[in-house]
């Protein structure tokens, strides 16, 4: 029927030109997603994906459960599909094309024969597979050619049909082409969420999580807008991916630019390993879903280095006595810390001091102001390695006349302030 006739039947029917490239990409994405069900996925563009589930059904709870899972996955991704199960690929393909009818009721088109051959068979009154199979087998090659015979043998499982085996891409990616260019931020945020969902399915299928996300948004005019996000831990959950992407996107100014589409990829990935928990252990707060989402959003907006926890090291030098790590790293060995450490620590700066007879600070001159000092702790000697100059430092805690406490050290006769309590 023509488009006009279709619109007469369904007012408001949406129609667009077929984009074969987009269709092929979508099929590849679905094939990648299907890797979660079986490692052997075959593609017959533009419409079919074949899964060899031999031996895989046990993992997924049986054939029926696996088929339901496949259908649910496709629905979740926004696709409607016909799924059929058979002993070989050709039969399954035919059943799917024939809406899962009984083999003898399948139309000839389900065998994917040349249209001329199908027309010839119909002219002879053969319209169903059952009628074709009822014909004398020895007469088929001479009358209809080897192609028909081969296809029937493939349907019966006597011969294997060659399909293109899907190969995993080097970098999982999700591409979206907008129907119309847009510059609206809410539309772009929706597109990012949609892309995150698609990429999440791919990462789930591959059993890995993204450590880095790269986005390229194709502008209608000018260079594409590109940004990336590094994650503190492998993420495959669509909400986590969306949280980091949206967090980073909100810091970007798109100005008056209109975009035609975007591509989201995960160039860096790592295996996602499930944590085994002790049966009686309390749930770790750090792994609560809400906290993980919070960290993802913070990482997305601020960068992976800004979101961390501190870890002590055994190094006695104050500037090396700690380091920052991501929240997902394992706990380091506990390091004992002596009381009386400063509570704030900053880049050492020289101070002008008067010293008493014992060489301890007694007065601090800061601009026009002068304060008397009392040494309350120290000296605490810290040696530096010979390859770092080998100079030792003596640290002191001093208190001024108002009770404020500061952390000083002396090195090579110079006095520097480096912290406060």
List residues near other proteins by CB under 8 A: 251, 285-286, 288, 290-291, 294-295, 297-298, 301-302, 305-312, 318, 321-322, 324, 327, 331, 337-346, 374, 376-377, 399-406, 419-421
Nearer to other proteins, 146 or 402 (CB): 402
Least distance (Å) from other proteins to the CB of residue 285?
5
Cβ nearer to other proteins, comparing 234 with 300:
300
Measured CA to CA, the distance from residue 219 to residue 225 in angstroms comes to: 7
Q: Min. distance of Cβ 379 from other proteins in angstroms?
A: 15
Nearer Cβ to other proteins (47/313): 313
Side-chain-side CA neighbours of residue 259 (13 Å) = 24
**Minimum distance of other proteins from residue 346's CB (angstroms):** 5
Query: Whole-number minimum distance, CB 49 to other proteins, in Å?
Result: 41
Q: Name the minimum Å distance from CB 229 to other proteins.
A: 15
Q: How far is CA 212 from the centre of its chain?
A: 8
Nearer to other proteins, 82 or 294 (CB): 294
- Taking the least distance from each CB to other proteins, the nearer of 112 and 371 is 371
What distances in angstroms separate CA 22 from CA 72, 175, 189, 197, 403, one per listed residue? Answer: 22, 9, 21, 17, 72
DSSP 164-206: EEP---SS-EEEEEEEEEE--HHHHHHHHHHHHHHHHHHHHHH
The closest alpha carbon to 196, from 227, 240, 260, 228, belongs to: 240
- Classified as helix, coil or strand, 349 is strand
Minimum distance from residue 313 beta carbon to other proteins (Å): 9
- 144 contacts 152 by C-beta, under 8 angstroms: no
Cα 415 to Cα 249, 350, 394, 406: the distances in Å are: 47, 6, 10, 12
Strand order in the sheet with 48-51: 48-51, 41-44, 164-165
Distance CA 178, CA 198 (A): 15
Select 57 or 311, whichever has its Cβ closest to other proteins.
311
The neighbour count for residue 53, using CB atoms within 10 Å, is 20
Q: Tell the smallest beta-carbon distance from residue 360 to other proteins (Å).
A: 13
Contacts of 159 (CB under 8 A, 6+ apart): 150, 153
By C-beta, is 88 or 418 nearer to other proteins? 418
CB of 384 to other proteins, least distance (A): 17
Judged by CB, which is closer to other proteins: 25, or 363? Answer: 363
Rounded to whole angstroms, the Cα distance separating 175 from 414 reads: 61
Angle formed at CA 138 by CA 136 and CA 139, multiple of 5 degrees: 70
Tell the smallest beta-carbon distance from residue 361 to other proteins (Å).
14
127 DSSP 8-state letter: -
Given the complex with other proteins, which of 48 and 241 has the nearer CB atom?
241
Say how many C-beta atoms besides its own lie within 10 A of residue 349's C-beta: 8
């Amino acid at each position: 029927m023509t488009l006009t006739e279709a619109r007469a039947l369904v007012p408001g029917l949406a129609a667009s030109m077929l984009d074969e490239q987009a269709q092929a990409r979508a099929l590849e994405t679905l094939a990648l997603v299907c890797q979660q069900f079986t490692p052997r996925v075959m593609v017959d563009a533009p419409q079919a994906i074949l899964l060899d589930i031999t031996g895989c059904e046990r993992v997924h709870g049986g054939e029926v459960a696996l088929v339901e899972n496949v259908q649910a996955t496709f629905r979740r991704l926004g696709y409607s599909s016909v799924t059929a199960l058979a002993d070989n690929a050709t039969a399954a393909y035919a059943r799917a094309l024939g809406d899962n009818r009984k083999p003898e009721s399948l139309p000839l088109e389900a065998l994917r024969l040349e249209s001329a051959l199908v027309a010839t068979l119909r002219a002879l009154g053969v319209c169903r597979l059952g009628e074709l199979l009822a014909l004398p087998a020895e007469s088929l090659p001479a009358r209809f050619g080897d192609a028909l015979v081969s296809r029937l043998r493939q349907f019966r499982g006597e011969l294997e049909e060659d399909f293109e085996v899907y190969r995993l891409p080097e970098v999982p990616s999700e591409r979206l082409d907008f129907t119309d260019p847009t510059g609206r931020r809410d539309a772009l945020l929706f597109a990012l969420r949609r892309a995150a969902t698609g990429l999440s399915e791919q990462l789930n299928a591959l059993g890995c999580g993204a450590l880095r996300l790269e986005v390229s948004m194709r502008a209608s005019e000018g260079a594409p807008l590109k940004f990336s996000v590094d994650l503190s831990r492998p993420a495959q959950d669509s909400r986590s991916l969306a949280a980091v992407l949206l967090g980073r996107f909100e810091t970007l100014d798109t100005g008056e630019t209109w975009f035609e589409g975007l591509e989201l990829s995960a160039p860096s990935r790592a295996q996602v390993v499930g944590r085994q928990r002790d049966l009686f252990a309390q749930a770790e707060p750090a792994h609560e879903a809400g906290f993980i989402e919070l960290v993802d959003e913070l990482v997305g907006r601020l960068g992976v280095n800004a979101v961390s926890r501190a870890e002590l090291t055994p190094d006695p030098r104050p500037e090396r006595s700690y380091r920052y790590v991501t929240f997902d790293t394992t706990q380091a060995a506990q390091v004992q810390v002596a009381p009386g450490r400063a509570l704030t620590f900053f880049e050492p700066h020289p101070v002008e001091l008067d010293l008493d007879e014992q060489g301890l600070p007694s007065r601090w001159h800061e601009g026009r102001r002068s304060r008397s000092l009392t040494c309350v702790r120290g000296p605490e000697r810290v040696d530096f390695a010979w390859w770092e100059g080998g100079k030792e430092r003596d640290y002191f805690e001093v208190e001024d006349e108002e009770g404020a406490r500061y952390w000083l050290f002396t090195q090579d006769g110079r006095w520097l302030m480096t912290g406060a309590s």
